[in-house]
């Protein structure tokens, strides 16, 4: 501001000598750097009527402007007017840029400025302001030596840690200039770390003195994090970026100004802390206890049960407490194995964790609410908590106490939970696995399967072959039987005649019993031979049936039955009303009829 | 007549029993030893015992199944699948083999959706593979012999009613026997015609033709079961249950 007015005044004075003639001059600020705004000014001495703004070439960006200011002065009654039009431009790359001339119209005449060449140097990352978009106040770009007067450093308390081991990193501000304002630009992301921000107890900034490289600085802690590396390898602590507004004294020869404390200017300064590498070592695989869950630090472990004797369906608390320093936030509940009949709820986590610049310390408590549903004696097996001690570089396993619960029968007033409706649960499938091997020794037959084997085909063939054999055998037997039947049939008459001849002899001799027997035998034998039935299986009914089947005349069958009846009766008791000669005649007649009856 | 029938069935029974009685003593102890090792967690030792059994020709559904289990425990999924598939081929009706095969198949990379098939087809295959081939052929032979026995009884039956019953019974049992033979034959054909294999390399590009430079159609992974459809030199044409097909090198698979 001060310099600008100064420059302006000087320009006005220079132009004032030839006040009548209108002049247009272009000027640019020195030390233009890429990425930082610089100023280009067009000064018109005289009464300008119209100003044609310039078009800036590619690579130049207008940050602000046109900013216009006019001044008027009168010397010896002669008034001169000057108009200054300023632009803040920014070049993206270094190089030479040409500012084209501007055209000013006055009294119908055109005046143009000279073309201006601006040399833009390579910008540095640490210095440079974002320009004063507000336009009210002009902040100059910082000079290079400001970087030595003000800087931020990330200071870790350890450079080499184990995975999960906590480290504290402090972003510290070092300054020996006066700071009038600050604005955070970019807070660190801290990838690869699980981080906790340590909040300062009081809001006031505490300044301390520190000497770095022989220079005395005022330092303060801007931000403090407790970090837990989440993976091993080379990790980086991200830079923190802030913009400060500092006051820089300006050298002046003016004794008045010096008297009033000298002039100074306000400079915006962008500050970035350097990246800090952190070497993270993996936790050793050797000696890792069963159930190790990533706890790193220094801990103690205690367990407690609020009661060991209770009734069924009453609740008890089982508390596991981890106390110490380390990654307490990341601790999971140690694996608790309970008998299946004890109902267990998810643990309640109760933290008393203190985050201080010294690190994370405190305790984490896991509280299980458990309800035994049935009476009995239950053992709570000991729980083991293990952690890695980074200072001793070894794993530590802390076993807990084992407890025995005595559960008495529940109150009668309280119905057993198993009988309340809806208390039944589905059997939960916890996990799946393959089925177990076959333990029964199988039959080891070296040959192939039955299918296609010799036996298979032999048996298949055996069916039809045996059937054929049976067929042939039956046919042959039937043939033979038929022959025998024919012979019997043919001889039936003869045999019967023989029997009748015997009967005749008995009749003549007067022996009635042998007579009837002979007649009976003759008749039966005849029928049996005729029908080809064994004599043993003969009886009257069967004979009648067989005769009927062979379509013998019913009258004949009736006579046969009658005659056989007569003979049968006469064998056991003397007959009356029928003479033996008549019976004989009947039998003879019967055989004769049947012989001609074609049976 | 009755004597004839009795003799007939006695012979048939004797003939059936003969192959059943042939069994060896030595493999029993190997099997038991393998099981003991498996039980104590020495899966590698169990594998060598079971493999000795297979090498000596005592391959068996149970041996293959146990081998599959041991390989699963050794975290060799491809081998586990190979042996389970072999076991299933010998005993398609065993529920344990089916369960473990399904379970282990969840662990491999490729999930292949089989093409939908007509329900009669799946029903028929279900029937055909519901029993072992030996079981089907034994049943078929028994039915076959029974049918002829009934027909022979028809020849000798004296009473007309008995005769009729024997005849119709014989014809019916004959139909049953022929169906059983058809089922057994179908299973036999499916098992001999279909050659399946299991992929044994982590990642196998399936080519459009049997040459290295051809286009890669898709990629299959270790443990996937493929059907061998054709063979050219060192290359085999494989088909997947979802209908995709292509050529892979024969060295990357093991035939079930």
CB atoms within 10 A of CB A390: 20
**Under DSSP, is residue A573 helix (H, G, I), strand (E, B) or coil?**
coil
pLDDT of residue A424: 67
Residue A203 binned pLDDT confidence (cut-offs 50, 70, 90): low
Q: Which residue of A has its CA nearest to B154?
A: A471
Inter-chain contact A437–B31, Cβ cutoff 8 Å? no
A471-488: average pLDDT? 81
Residues belonging to chain A: 599
Facing A446 at nearest CB: one of B4, B58, B155: B58
A593/A599 Cα distance (integer angstroms): 10
B154-169: average pLDDT? 86
| A146 vs A191, residue with greater confidence | A191
Residue A203 DSSP class: S
Q: At what angle do helices A454-509 and A580-596 cross, to 10 degrees?
A: 140
pLDDT of residue A28: 80
| B197 vs A182, residue with greater confidence | B197
pLDDT of residue B47: 92
Rounded to the nearest angstrom, the minimum Cα separation between B58 and chain A is: 6
| A33 vs A386, residue with greater confidence | A386
Burial-class residue B193 by CB neighbours within 10 Å (0-12, 13-18, 19+).
Answer: exposed
Facing A445 at nearest CB: one of B22, B32, B147: B22
CB atoms within 10 A of CB A55: 9
Q: Which range among A436-450, A456-470, B14-28, B94-108 shows the weakest confidence by mean pLDDT?
A: B14-28
Residue A358 binned pLDDT confidence (cut-offs 50, 70, 90): confident
SS3 content of chain A, % helix, strand, coil (to 5): 25, 40, 35
Q: Which range among A310-319, A380-389, A568-577, B79-88 shows the weakest confidence by mean pLDDT?
A: A568-577
pLDDT of residue A130: 38
CB atoms within 10 A of CB B153: 22
Beta bridge pairs of residue A25 = A43
Beta bridge pairs of residue B237 = B230, B247
Angstrom CA distances, A497 to A372, A507, A557, A594, B27, stand at 109, 15, 20, 13, 82
pLDDT of residue A140: 45
Inter-chain contact B65–A466, Cβ cutoff 8 Å? no
| A67 vs B65, residue with greater confidence | B65
Residue A418 DSSP class: G
pLDDT in tens, A120-159: 777 654 333 333 333 333 344 444 456 677 888 888 888 8
Q: Which range among A203-217, B30-44, B223-237 shows the weakest confidence by mean pLDDT?
A: A203-217
Of chain A, the percentage scoring pLDDT greater than 90 comes to 1
**Under DSSP, is residue B255 helix (H, G, I), strand (E, B) or coil?**
strand
Helices (H), A169-301: 255-259
pLDDT of residue A421: 57
| A316 vs A146, residue with greater confidence | A316
Q: Does the pLDDT at position B124 exceed 80?
A: yes
pLDDT of residue B167: 92
Facing A455 at nearest CB: one of B19, B69, B99: B19
Residue A16 binned pLDDT confidence (cut-offs 50, 70, 90): very low
Element (H, E) at A420: none
A82-93: average pLDDT? 80
Q: Does the pLDDT at position B197 exceed 50?
A: yes
Residue A447 binned pLDDT confidence (cut-offs 50, 70, 90): low
* Sequence-ordered list of residues with C-beta below 8 angstroms from that of A212, at least 6 positions apart, any chain: A174
**Under DSSP, is residue A324 helix (H, G, I), strand (E, B) or coil?**
strand
A71-95: average pLDDT? 78
Inter-chain contact A451–B133, Cβ cutoff 8 Å? yes
B48/B25 Cα distance (integer angstroms): 19
pLDDT in tens, A254-289: 666 666 666 677 778 888 888 888 889 888 888 888
Of the candidates A589, A517, A582, which has an alpha carbon nearest to the alpha carbon of residue A555? A589
Element (H, E) at A539: none
A459-481: average pLDDT? 88
pLDDT in tens, A531-578: 777 767 777 777 778 778 777 778 888 888 888 888 778 777 776 777
pLDDT of residue A376: 84
pLDDT of residue A530: 76
Q: Which range among A232-246, A573-587, B28-42, B197-211 shows the weakest confidence by mean pLDDT?
A: A573-587
Mean confidence (pLDDT) of chain B: 84
B140-154: average pLDDT? 92
A208/A213 Cα distance (integer angstroms): 16
State the Cα angle at B79 between B78 and B80, rounded to 5°: 90
Rounded to the nearest angstrom, the minimum Cα separation between B138 and chain A is: 7
Of chain A, the percentage scoring pLDDT greater than 70 comes to 84
Which of A442, A460, A462, A481 to mutate to test binding with chain B, by most B CBs within 10 Å of its CB? A442
A151/A142 Cα distance (integer angstroms): 13
Residue A32 DSSP class: -
Residues of A in contact with B188 (CB under 8 A): 451-452
A197-212: average pLDDT? 74
pLDDT in tens, A17-47: 444 567 888 888 777 777 777 888 888 887 7
pLDDT of residue B16: 47
Rounded to the nearest angstrom, the minimum Cα separation between B41 and chain A is: 12
Mean confidence (pLDDT) of chain A: 78
pLDDT of residue B142: 93
Q: Which range among A10-19, A44-53, A225-234, A463-472 shows the weakest confidence by mean pLDDT?
A: A10-19
Q: Does the pLDDT at position A301 exceed 80?
A: yes
């Amino acid at each position: 501001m001060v310099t600008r007015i100064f420059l302006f005044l000087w320009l006005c004075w220079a132009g004032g000598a030839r006040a009548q003639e209108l002049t247009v001059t272009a000027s640019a600020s020195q030390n233009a750097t890429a990425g930082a705004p610089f100023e280009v000014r067009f000064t018109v001495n005289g009464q300008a009527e119209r100003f044609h703004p310039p078009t800036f070439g590619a690579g130049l960006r207008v940050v602000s402007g046109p900013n216009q200011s006019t001044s008027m002065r009168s010397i010896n009654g002669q008034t001169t007017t000057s108009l200054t039009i300023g632009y803040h431009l920014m070049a993206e790359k270094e190089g030479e840029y040409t500012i084209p001339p501007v055209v000013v119209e006055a009294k119908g005449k055109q005046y143009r400025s000279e073309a201006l060449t601006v040399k833009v140097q390579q910008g540095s990352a640490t210095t440079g302001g974002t320009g004063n978009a507000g336009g009210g106040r002009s902040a100059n770009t910082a000079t290079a030596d400001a970087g030595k007067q003000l800087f931020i450093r990330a200071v870790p308390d350890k450079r080499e840690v184990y995975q999960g081991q906590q480290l504290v990193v402090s972003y510290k501000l070092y300054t020996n200039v006066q700071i009038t304002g600050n604005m955070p630009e970019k807070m660190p992301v801290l990838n690869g770390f699980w981080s906790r921000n340590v909040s300062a107890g009081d809001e006031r900034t505490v300044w301390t003195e520190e000497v770095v490289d022989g220079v005395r600085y005022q330092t303060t802690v801007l931000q403090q994090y407790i970090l837990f590396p989440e993976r091993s390898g080379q990790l980086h602590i991200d830079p923190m970026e802030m913009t400060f507004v500092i006051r820089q004294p300006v050298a002046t020869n003016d004794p008045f100004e010096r008297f009033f404390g000298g002039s100074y200017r306000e400079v915006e300064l962008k500050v970035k802390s350097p990246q800090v590498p952190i070497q993270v070592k993996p936790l050793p695989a050797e000696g890792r206890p069963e159930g190790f869950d990533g706890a790193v630090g220094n801990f103690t472990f205690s367990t407690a049960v609020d009661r060991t004797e209770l009734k069924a369906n009453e609740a008890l608390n089982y508390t596991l407490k981890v106390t110490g320093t380390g990654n307490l936030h990341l601790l999971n509940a140690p694996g608790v194995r309970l008998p299946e009949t004890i109902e267990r709820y998810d643990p309640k986590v109760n933290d008393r964790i203190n985050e201080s610049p010294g690190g994370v310390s405190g305790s984490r408590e896991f509280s299980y609410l458990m309800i035994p549903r049935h009476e009995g004696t239950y053992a709570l097996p000991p729980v083991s908590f293990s952690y890695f001690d980074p200072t001793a570089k070894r794993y530590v396993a802390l076993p807990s106490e084992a407890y025995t619960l005595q559960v008495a029968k529940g109150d009668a007033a309280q119905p057993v939970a198993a009988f309340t409706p809806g208390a039944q649960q589905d059997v939960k499938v916890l996990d799946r696995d393959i089925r177990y091997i076959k333990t029964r020794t199988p039959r080891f037959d070296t040959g192939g399967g039955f299918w296609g084997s010799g036996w298979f085909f032999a048996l298949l063939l055996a069916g039809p072959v045996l059937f054929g054999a049976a067929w042939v055998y039956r046919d042959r037997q039937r043939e033979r039987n038929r022959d025998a039947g024919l012979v019997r049939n043919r001889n039936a008459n003869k045999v019967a005649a023989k029997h009748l001849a015997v009967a005749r002899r008995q009749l003549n001799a007067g022996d009635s019993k042998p007579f009837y027997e002979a007649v009976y035998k003759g008749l039966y034998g005849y029928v049996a031979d005729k029908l080809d039935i064994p004599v043993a299986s003969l009886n009257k009914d069967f004979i009648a049936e067989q005769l009927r089947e062979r379509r013998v005349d019913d009258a004949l069958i009736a006579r046969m039955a009658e005659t056989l009846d007569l003979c049968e009766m006469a064998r056991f008791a003397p007959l009356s009303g029928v003479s033996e000669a008549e019976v004989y005649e009947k039998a003879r007649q019967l055989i004769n009829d049947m012989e001609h009856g074609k049976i | 007549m009755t004597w004839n029938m009795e003799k007939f069935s006695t012979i048939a029974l004797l003939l059936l029993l003969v192959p059943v009685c042939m069994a060896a003593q030595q493999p029993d102890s190997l099997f038991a030893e393998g099981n003991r090792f498996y039980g104590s967690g020495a899966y590698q030792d169990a594998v060598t015992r079971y493999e000795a059994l297979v090498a000596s020709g005592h391959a068996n559904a149970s041996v293959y199944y146990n081998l599959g289990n041991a390989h699963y425990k050794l975290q060799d999924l491809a081998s586990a699948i190979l042996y389970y598939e072999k076991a299933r081929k010998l005993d398609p009706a065993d529920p344990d083999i089916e369960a473990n095969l399904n379970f282990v198949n969840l662990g491999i990379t490729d999930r292949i959706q089989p093409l939908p098939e007509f329900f009669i087809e799946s029903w028929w295959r279900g029937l055909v593979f519901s029993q072992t081939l030996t079981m089907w052929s034994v049943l078929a032979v028994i039915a076959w012999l029974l049918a002829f026995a009934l027909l022979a009884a028809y020849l000798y039956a004296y009473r007309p009613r008995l005769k009729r019953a024997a005849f119709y019974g014989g014809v019916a049992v004959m139909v049953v026997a022929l169906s059983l033979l058809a089922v057994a034959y179908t299973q036999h054909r499916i098992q001999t015609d279909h050659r399946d294999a299991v992929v044994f390399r982590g990642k196998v590009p399936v080519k459009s033709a049997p040459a290295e430079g051809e286009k890669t159609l898709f990629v299959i992974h270790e443990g996937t079961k493929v059907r061998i459809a054709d063979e050219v030199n060192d290359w085999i044409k494989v088909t997947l249950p979802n209908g995709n097909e292509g050529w892979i090198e024969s060295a990357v698979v093991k035939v079930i």
